[in-house]
Structure formats: C-alpha cells, structure tokens
Amino acid sequence: MTAKPSRVIALGFFDGVHLGHGALLKRTAEIAARVGATPCALTFDAHPEALITKTPLPLLNTISDRAELIRRLYGMEEVIFAHFDDALMHMPWRSFIQNMLIDCFRAVHVVAGPDFHFGYKGKGNPALLSEECARRDLGCDIVPLVGLEGITVSSTYIRKLVAQGDMERAALFLGHPHCLSGVVGHGRRLGSALGVPTVNLPFPEGLQCPAHGVYVSVVTLDGRRLPSVTNIGLRPTVTISHEVAAETHILDFSGDLYGKQLRLELLKSLRRETRFASLDDLRAQIERDLEETKAFWAAQ
C-alpha cells in the first residue's frame, strides 16, 4: 500500500499490545481515516527503561511479534522502530517533537497515553506534549488508561501473569492470547520416540518466559489455526539442559514442519513441568495431557 504523505502517529513501546495499547491504536486509526493520513505506530527497538537503568527487562514480545500484532489487530499501516540509543536518550523533549515527529516522520497528529514520557530524563510528558503540539498546530490526543476489574491494564502486570502461567487471565488483559512466533527448528526427536511428535520453537532471548509447564495451545500455520498442546521448559525427565524449549504437538497432524514459520498461542495451563521417575510415567502423563487438551477443544 502506498504511504500517504502524512501520518497520525501512536506513541508508545506497546509491549504485549494489550487493551490499553489497543485503545490508543484504535483512536489513531479513527483520526487517520478522518484526516486522510497514514495510521502509524512509532515505537523503539529496545525498552528505554533497560538502557536507562542498565537492567535487562524481560519483554512479552519480540520486535516482529509486536509489529505483527499492531498491524493485524489494529490496522496500523506502518510500524516504525526507532533505534533507542544514547543519542535518543539524551535528546531534548522539544527536539523529539520537532526533529522526529514533525521533520522526520511528517506527523500531523499524535496519540499517546497519560503515562508517556519522552526526551532527556523523561522530562517530556503528556501535558507538555499537548501544549507544544498546540503551539506548532499539530493535533494531539491523550488517551486515558484502561482499567479492568479495578486493575490498570499494563505490560508489567501482564508479565507477572505470564510468569505465573496464568494465560487465561493474561489473554483477558491483552485482548488476545499470549503468542510466540518463529521458525521451526530441529529438536532431539524425543517426542517422536514417545509417540507424540512435536515441533520445536527456539525461545527468544530477552522474553518473559511463561511458567514451565504444559499448555493448551493453538498453532497458526499458512493461515490455518491448528489445536495443539505445548510444553515449555527444560524437559527434566529426558535431558539435562539449561535452555528453555517450546515443544508443541499438533493434534491430528502429520508432516515435517522444519523451517516453517508459525505462530504459537498459549491458551490455558494444564500443569507445571515435572521430573518423572521413568519414561513410562512421562508417556502416561502425556496421554492424560492429550485427553485434557482434546476435551478443551471439544468444549469450544
């Protein structure tokens, strides 16, 4: 699609692309349609907090998954990832508005949340953004925070839910299932040896790992949504490893998916990862996991 000469820009990091982000992105799309501009999300390739505090922050999504969710769920025609480095961290807040938003990205309207801070030491805030935009004849909307069950929807809260393995509640606050995508790699074929062949996704470095365990899941492959069950963890019964693996068995499916791109969505926790006394005990538990997964899908 040919880009229009101006943009309505949603500002934020958008980790998880949750309901609060969704309210902001919907407003962006509405304004863009009204003024005939390109709806766009402007975000960063690294979380500013991680660079400022020098402390790694586990994220909910990879860059590619963030972009895909923003486009697929909220109709943004463009997702721009600005490189967050020392220069951007020290950029004065007025320069961010003039140099980046207006001069570089041709913004005619910007949309942000009430907790959006920008510029050197985060001195830019929604009030200053609104005032400066008005002075420069640039449209500006500040979208209120979204609450659910008396809790403010936030990436921080959702990360805690994912770490606890509570995928159903995470999906409630996200507005969609928690997902992971990637290219299928080679595993150790232990699933096949146990009679339950799996596809293996490498778990990206820097992401918040779900609680180790078994989950009802769904795989999206070539536009098809396929019921599945996924183990995330270290496979303590069959190997000694410190590398987290996501191993998924697709129900009623056969075929080699090595090298294929797929999206994995985790829907419900079945149990925590356990070290079994024998492979026979593990095989019996896998059968119970499969039955419970089939029962879940039969009830849908």
Cβ atoms within 10 Å, residue 8: 27
Q: Does residue 127 lie within any of the structural domains?
A: yes
Q: Give a yes or no: residue 161 inside a domain.
A: no
SS (H, E, C) 89-157: HCCCHHHHHHHHHHHHCCEEEEEECCCCCECHHHCECHHHHHHHHHHCCCEEEECCCCEECCEECCHHH
pTM (predicted TM-score): 0.91
Number of domain units in the chain: 2
Per-residue pLDDT of the chain (300 residues; tens, 9 = 90+): 455 679 999 999 999 999 999 999 999 999 999 999 999 999 999 888 877 777 888 999 999 999 999 999 999 999 999 998 888 889 999 999 999 999 999 999 999 999 999 999 889 999 999 999 999 999 999 999 999 999 999 999 999 999 999 999 999 999 999 999 999 876 555 555 455 788 988 888 899 999 999 999 999 988 899 999 999 987 755 666 677 889 999 999 887 788 889 999 999 999 998 888 788 888 888 999 999 999 999 998
126: left (phi over 0), alpha (psi -120 to 50) or beta: alpha
Tell me, what amino acid is at 241?
S
Same domain, 134 and 211: no
Residue 157 inside a domain? The answer is no
Residue 46 is given by DSSP the state S
Per the structure, the complete domain to which residue 215 belongs is given by 177-298
- Spatial separation of the C-alpha atoms in residues 171 and 162, rounded to whole Å: 10
CATH number at residue 106: 3.40.50.620
